Amino acid sequence: MKAMILIPTYNEATSVVELLRSLESLRENKRFDFDVTIIDDNSPDKTAEIVESLSLSWVSILKRGKKDGLGSAYRAGFAKVLATDHYDQIVTMDADGSHRVADLPAMFAAVSPGKSIVLGTRWIPGGSVVNWPKSRQLLSKSGTKYASLALGIKLADLTGGFRIYSRQLLESLNLSKMDATGYCFQIEMALAAHLAQAHATQVPITFVERINGVSKMSRAIVIEALIQTTRWGIKRRVRPNADKLHYVK
């Protein structure tokens, strides 16, 4: 198994260097074979240039002209990976340190043959969050519960972004037809994987709220996710097969 880890960045100069050093340590363990692509949205803090200065042979940079949303960044990364045949697993991971490198080995071990998705999950036994107030935990749990009920997907963490998608799964999806931009991109991908009948495995992780930098979460992102999820839920009830035709080739 060879994986590509996709890491979107916008003003993550400090945290992404720390993350890459941690990944470098894991990579030295020959059991784990992966490369990294940094997807940078023209960060004013020169994130891309700082990563380039590290001169890590296993790290490439996909430079984009402007900040254009999480979903757009990941779709650009998916397209780059799928344009080659070098990788059979694609990892999505935050740059701010909230997704721990220490959880990656268990997630890699959970990969299944064929169309599969491994979800790093906070809200199952063994999973946890650090430095989140109760209100933020309630918001995340409520968001996942609502999405699960609206879309009929029995997963415990639909908004989490620490995942591993198999190449077979991504190749089976109409990625170009997806348009979610913010964090509801995670919900859209979980829905698409469900419709593609991918094997889903939930692995408990510890999510650590960032200490440095500024969180990208906002009220607008939450509202976008709520509106989009409601729309998807209504469509699934009115036209049960339409969304499958939309998402699955």
Query: pLDDT over 90 for what percent of the chain?
Result: 72
Find out whether 11 and 213 touch, Cβ atoms under 8 Å. yes
Query: Under DSSP, is residue 171 helix (H, G, I), strand (E, B) or coil?
Result: helix
Q: Please report which residue ranges of 100-171 form alpha helices under DSSP H.
A: 104-109, 134-151, 167-171
| Amino acid 143: pLDDT | 86
Cα-based distances in Å from 96 to 13, 14, 110, 210: 9, 9, 24, 6
- What are the residues whose beta carbons fall under 8 Å from the beta carbon of 216, sequence distance 6 or more? 10, 70
| Amino acid 213: pLDDT | 54
| Amino acid 103: pLDDT | 98
Per domain, the residue ranges of the chain are 3-247
Q: What is the pLDDT of residues 3-61, one digit of tens each?
A: 999 999 999 999 999 999 999 999 998 789 999 999 999 999 999 999 999 999 999 99
Q: What is the pLDDT of residues 146-191, one digit of tens each?
A: 999 999 999 999 999 999 999 999 999 999 999 888 778 999 999 9
| Amino acid 180: pLDDT | 87
Q: Which architecture, in CATH terms, is 3-247?
A: Alpha-Beta Complex (3.90)
- The gap from C-alpha 27 to its chain's centroid, in whole angstroms, comes to 20
- What is the C-alpha to C-alpha distance for residues 97 and 95, in angstroms, rounded to an integer? 6
| Amino acid 179: pLDDT | 86
Which structure tokens are listed for 79?
């397209």
Q: What is the pTM of this model?
A: 0.92
